[in-house]
Homo-oligomer: A and B are copies of this chain.
Amino acid sequence: MLDDRKLAVLRAIVEDYVSTNEPVGSKALADRHNLGVSPATIRNDMAALEEQGYITQPHTSAGRVPTDKGYRLFVDRLSQIKPLSSAERRAIETFLAGAVDLDEIVMRTVRLLAQLTRQVAVVQYPSLTRSSVRHVEIVPLAERRVMLVLITNTGRVEQRVVDLPEPIADDRIANLRAVLNACLDGCGLSQVPETVADVPDRLPPEDRPVAATILSVLLETLVERHEEKIVFGGTANLAAADFSVGLRDVLEALEEQVVLIRLLGETGGLSDITVRIGSENPYSGLRGTSIVAAGYGSGDKELARLGVLGPTRMDYPVTMGAVRAVARYVGQILAGS
C-alpha cells in the first residue's frame, strides 16, 4: 500500500513543510531531496498519499501539506529523535544546577524548555500523590492557631493555617509533632489516610480533639491539592509562530489548569515520550497545536510530567530530543537534592 518511496516522499513533505511553512509541490521536492525520480512520479505518489489521508492541499493547485495523520506516521515511523548537541547539554546542566529549591527548579525548567524548543513549555510540580512525607511540622502561631507544614521528599512544601478548637500548650504540640512524624516519616502520601488513623490512639486523651482537627486539615490538604500544580511559560513563542488565528483559544487553554493537566496526559513509561498531534488532543481549542510530553522522576518512579506545546507544524525530532533531555536532567537534579 505504502511502499518505501511513498514513505520517503511523505517524510520529505513533512520536513520541507516544517522548515518553509509553505505547501510543498512536486517540483520542489524533486529538487531538494534526491529521490531519484521525476516530479511526475512524485505527483503520483502524492495522489496516493492524499487518497489515504496523509496529506492534503489547502486549495486546488497548491502544494501539499501534511495532515495530522501524516504527522502521526512521520513521528511513529519516519523520524528519529534528535539528540541535543553537547553544548546544549552543558547549558541545561549548569542552568538547572543553579536552582536552590523546588520552586526554582520548576521555574528554570520552564524557561529552559521554552528557550530550547522555542515553544510554550509546561511543567507539572512533582505530584503530591506520588511523593512521600519527609517531615511534618506544626508551628504555633497564636494560642488557638497553628500552621501545619508538610514537606515531601521531592522538596515540595504545603502549608495551611489551622484554627484549633481549644488552646494547647507548646509541649503538647511538640509531642503531637513527634508522634505524627514517627508515624508518617517516609510514608507515601497515598498511604497517609490509613496511616494517620492510628495517631489518636498514641496520644493522651486530652489531646485528641486538637489532633483530630489538625489531621482533618492534613487530609483535606492532600485531597484538595490532588489537583496538581502546573506552570507554563514561553507564550511569546506563540506569537512568533504564524499562529495569530486561534491564539486566543490557545492562551485560554493554557490558563485552564484542568485542561493543561489532561494535556500532559497519563503516564507512559518514565522516559516514554508522548506526542499528541492536533485533533488527537482532548481540547477543541487546541486543534492546531501538538503536545510533546514526557514523564520525569528520580530513580525509576515517575513523579510528574513536563512538555511543550506548539503548532502541529513543528520540528518533532528536535522537540522530542529537547523534551527527553530536559526530563532526564530534571530527574537527576531532583534525585540529588
Contact = CB atoms under 8 A, between A and B. Distances in A.
Nearest to A161: B337
A148 B155 CA distance: 12
A134 B141 CA distance: 7
Interface residues of A, number: 32
Contacts of A238: 251
B134 A137 contact: no
Nearest to A221: B100
Contacts of A233: 255
Given A134-B141, A236-B251, A236-B252, 9 more contacts: A100-B224, A101-B159, A135-B147, A137-B149, A149-B157, A157-B157, A239-B248, A240-B248, A244-B244
A144 interface: no
A289 B254 CA distance: 22
A137 B251 CA distance: 39
A255 B234 contact: yes
A164 interface: no
A73 interface: no
A160 interface: yes
A328 to B, nearest CB: 22
A155 B161 contact: yes
A139 interface: yes
